[in-house]
């Protein structure tokens, strides 16, 4: 290959690290540039999973990086390890048609599997040990021990990561395994599509022929009666045939609102495990692990600083790491504690007192002009019920209190009432910008911003 082409690729890599650190992975070093032919840069990924990630996530950015560093109108095409390197067999992937996929057979159908989400990149702590153990057991003996496997926990705590790790591990052991990995919404909309098109037979065949069915965020089944019904039958068919089913959810089966009792009991019939928010030690390990994956060295004190500053969930932690990394490449100096402090200055209130239930209540009571005793009473008029729901929502979101504890605090209400309050406020918040602003202000006042 022409050395000029090689230079272009190494410039693109440097450009990606500097400008798109969040999507650049250490394994990009393993990508083999095959050269530029007819305006198309062909890049060979080391694995099919890498190829798929590049196509889905990076095609547009890499082709624009190519144009920036070379000053030429170039597009990019990603090949898998076994693809022949001729250019003519498929349209190149460019910024405008990056949806083109040549689905390699080893990749699970449905959602794209992120190669970052392998078991070896999952940091195990006491908060997720059981879920991790169950996931690895399922990956080594699908359909045998824990069926279904049901993993639940809050947002950004690694549910999707574990689900994908199961898929990756199964595919690595046996690329012919038929895995269907999809979101609950995708399931529901495929179902609706099949009904509309009168293609229910195809739909059923597709779902019932798989070895492993993995559905992410199954709590979205709630309220979709027809798709619940269909899911129930799909589940039974697979279960009877000894196929593995893996599900994730934001709540335990019995706590998912509007989930039919028969589905609750199906879900409970296998193994139900929860993931909790990572403790400090786990967070430190996660920060170090992510830095290794992104290909840069993270000094211990910086990892500890980030872990102590950000505690909400792993996704936020990751955001902080990207920020530090971008700051570093923009400033061109090594990563140090003071650099991290600068990078995160707007995200971190360092010596901030912990957000407590009392601080939240003080803030809400003050804002709405109600009394704590009213919030704890049985009174249901809107002027009290609304601030009460807001309180429950904020406490749930920004403290570690359980649903039961929160219910107890607000006048001995049970956990489903709290869950209902949280969901109600969440929905209203998404649909009502005014409420969103109010909540943001309240969060700021009780020190819970950026969580
Ligand atoms: P969820 O599906 O529970 O909302 P994700 O699985 O999407 O959360 O995780 C959010 C991010 O945090 C992902 O990038 C994931 O890799 C990372 N993550 C979560 N838990 C861990 C962990 N224990 N070790 C390493 N990374 C983790
Ligand atoms: Mg998820």
Q: Which of 111, 159, 161 best tests ligand 1's pocket when mutated (most atoms within 8 Å of CB)?
A: 161
**C-beta atoms surrounding 262 within 10 Å:** 12
Cis upstream peptide for 148 (omega within 30°): yes
Mutate to test the pocket of ligand 1, among 126, 166, 314, 320 (most ligand atoms within 8 A of CB): 314
Cα–Cα distance for residue pair 186/227, rounded to 1 Å: 11
- Collect residues with CB below 5 Å from ion ligand 2: 159-160
**pLDDT < 70 positions in the chain:** 1, 73, 85-112, 222-224, 346-354, 449-451
Q: Which atom of ligand 1 is nearest to the CA of 124?
A: 23
> Is the omega angle on the peptide bond into residue 182 within 30 degrees of 0, that is, cis?
no
Atom of ligand 1 minimally distant from the CA of 216: 2
Residue 156 CA to ligand 1 center (angstroms) comes to 5
* 83 and 44 Cβ atoms separated by less than 8 Å: yes
Residue 128 confidence (pLDDT): 95
Relative to the CA of 162, which ligand 1 atom is closest? 6
Nearest atom, ligand 1, residue 153 CA? 3
Tokens representing residue 88 in the block: 């003519």
Distance from the CA of 157 to the center of ligand 1, in angstroms? 5
Q: Please tell me the residue having the least CA distance from ligand 1 atom 11.
A: 315
- For residue 329, how many other CB atoms are within 10 A of its CB? 14
Atom of ligand 1 nearest to the CA of 161: 6
Who's near 180: CB < 8 A, 6+ residues apart? Answer: 108, 109, 110, 206, 207, 210, 212, 213, 214
CA-based nearest residue to 74, from 35, 30, 22, 23: 35
Would the CB of 213 count as within 6 Å of ligand 1? Answer: no
Answer yes or no: is the C-beta of 320 below 6 A from any ligand 1 atom. Answer: no
Domains of the chain, first to last: 3-79 (3.30.300.180), 109-275 (3.40.50.300), 280-343 (1.10.8.60), 357-445 (1.10.1750.10)
270 lines ligand 1 (CB under 6 A): no
Q: What is the pLDDT of residues 384-425, one digit of tens each?
A: 999 999 999 999 988 888 888 888 888 889 899 999 999 999
- pTM (predicted TM-score): 0.63
Separation of alpha carbons 335 and 320, rounded Å: 13
Q: What is the pLDDT of residue 224?
A: 62
The reply to whether ligand 1 has any atom less than 6 angstroms from the CB of 123 is: yes
Q: How far is CA 125 from the centre of its chain?
A: 18
Give the integer Cα–Cα distance in Å for 174 and 176: 5
Coil/strand/helix, residue 137: helix
Q: What is the pLDDT of residue 73?
A: 66
Six token digits for residue 340: 């991290």
Residue 127 to residues 152, 245, 248, 283, 348: CA-CA distances in angstroms?
A: 12, 23, 16, 11, 24
Q: Which atom of ligand 1 is nearest to the CA of 157?
A: 3
- Strands (E) across 30-89 are located at 32-37, 40-44, 75-79
Q: Is the CB of 318 under 6 A from ligand 1?
A: yes
Q: Do the beta carbons of residue 438 and residue 364 sit within 8 Å?
A: no
CB 39 within 8 A of CB 72: yes
Atom of ligand 1 lying closest to residue 282 CA: 23
Whole-number pLDDT of residue 446: 83
Residue of 190, 248, 255 lying closest to 224 (CA atoms): 190
Question: Residue 159 Cα, ligand 1 centroid: separation in angstroms?
Answer: 7
Identify the residue whose tokens are 């999507």.
Answer: 23
What is the Cα–Cα distance from 58 to 99, expressed in whole angstroms? 11
For residue 375, the CA-to-ligand 1 centroid distance in Å is 35
Ligand nearest to the CA of 313: 1
**Neighbour-count burial of 376, counting CB atoms closer than 10 A to its CB (0-12 exposed, 13-18 middle, 19+ buried):** middle
Cα-flanking dihedrals φ and ψ of residue 74, to 5°?
-120, 150
Q: Looking up tokens 């022929």, which residue turns up? A: 209
User: Does the C-beta of 155 come closer than 6 Å to ligand 1?
Assistant: yes
DSSP class per residue in 410-448: TTS--HHHHHHHHHHHHHHHHH-HHHHHHHHHHHHHTT-
How do residues 14-71 score in pLDDT, each as one tens digit? 888 888 888 899 899 999 999 887 778 899 999 988 998 998 888 888 988 887 777 7
Interatomic CA distance for residues 392 and 420, integer angstroms: 10
Both tokens of residue 392?
A: 């429950």
For the CA atoms of the chain, what is the radius of gyration?
24
Please list the residues that pair with 77 across neighbouring strands. 42
CA of 250 to the centre of ligand 1 (A): 14
157 ligand 1 Cβ < 6 A: yes
What pLDDT is recorded for position 198? 93
At 348 the pLDDT is 52
Listed in order, strand segments (DSSP E) in 112-195 are 149-153, 179-183
Residue with tokens 């057991």: 137
Between the CA of 368 and the centroid of ligand 1 the distance, in Å, is 36
Let me know: does 210 contact 244? Beta carbons within 8 Å: no
Number of C-alpha atoms within 13 angstroms, CB side, residue 285?
Answer: 12
In this structure, the residue with its CA closest to atom 14 of ligand 1 is 315
In the structure encoding, which two tokens stand for residue 424, read together? 């109600």
From the CA of 215, how far away is ligand 1's center (Å)? Answer: 16
How many angstroms separate the CA atoms of 427 and 270, rounded? 31
Q: How far apart are CA 441 and CA 406, in angstroms?
A: 22
pLDDT confidence of residue 337: 92
């Amino acid at each position: 290959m022409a050395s000029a082409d090689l230079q272009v690729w190494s410039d693109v890599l440097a450009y990606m690290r500097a400008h798109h650190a969040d999507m650049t992975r250490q394994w990009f070093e393993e990508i083999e540039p095959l050269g530029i032919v007819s305006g198309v840069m062909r890049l060979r990924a080391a694995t099919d999973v890498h190829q798929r990630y590049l196509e889905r996530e990076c095609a547009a950015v890499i082709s624009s990086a190519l144009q920036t560093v070379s000053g030429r109108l170039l597009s990019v095409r990603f090949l898998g390890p076994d693809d022949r390197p001729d250019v003519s067999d498929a349209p190149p992937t460019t910024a405008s048609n990056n949806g083109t996929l040549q689905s390699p057979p080893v990749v699970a159908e449905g959602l794209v599997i992120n190669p970052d989400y392998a078991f070896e990149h999952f940091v195990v702590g006491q908060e997720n040990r059981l879920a991790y153990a169950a996931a690895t057991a399922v990956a080594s003996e699908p359909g045998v021990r824990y069926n279904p496997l049901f993993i639940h926990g809050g947002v950004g705590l690694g549910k999707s990561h574990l689900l994908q790790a199961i898929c990756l591990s199964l595919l690595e052991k046996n690329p012919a395994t038929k895995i269907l990995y999809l979101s609950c919404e995708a399931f529901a909309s495929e179902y609706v599509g099949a009904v509309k098109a009168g293609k229910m037979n195809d739909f059923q065949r597709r779902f019932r022929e798989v070895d492993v069915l993995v559905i992410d965020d199954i709590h979205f089944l709630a309220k979709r009666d027809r798709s619940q019904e269909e899911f129930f039958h799909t589940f039974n068919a697979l279960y009877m045939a000894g196929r593995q089913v893996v599900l994730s959810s934001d709540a335990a089966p019995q706590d998912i609102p509007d989930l039919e009792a028969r589905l609750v009991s199906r879900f409970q019939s296998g193994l139900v495990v929860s993931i909790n928010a990572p403790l400090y030690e786990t967070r430190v390990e996660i920060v170090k692990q992510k830095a290794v994956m992104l290909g840069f060295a993270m000094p211990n004190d910086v990892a500890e600083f980030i872990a102590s500053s950000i505690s909400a969930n792993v996704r936020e932690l990751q955001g902080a790491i990207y920020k530090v990394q971008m700051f570093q490449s923009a400033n061109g100096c090594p990563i140090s504690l003071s650099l991290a402090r600068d990078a995160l200055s707007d995200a971190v209130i360092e010596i901030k007192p912990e957000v407590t239930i009392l601080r939240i209540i003080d803030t809400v009571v003050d804002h709405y002009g109600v009394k704590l005793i009213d919030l704890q009473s049985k009174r249901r008029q809107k002027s009290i019920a609304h601030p009460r729901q807001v309180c429950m929502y904020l406490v749930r979101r920004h403290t570690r209190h359980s649903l039961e504890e929160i219910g107890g605090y607000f006048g001995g209400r049970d956990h489903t009432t709290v869950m209902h309050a949280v969901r109600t406020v969440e929905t209203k918040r998404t649909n009502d910008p005014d409420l969103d602003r109010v909540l943001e202000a309240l969060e700021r006042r009780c020190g819970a911003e950026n969580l």
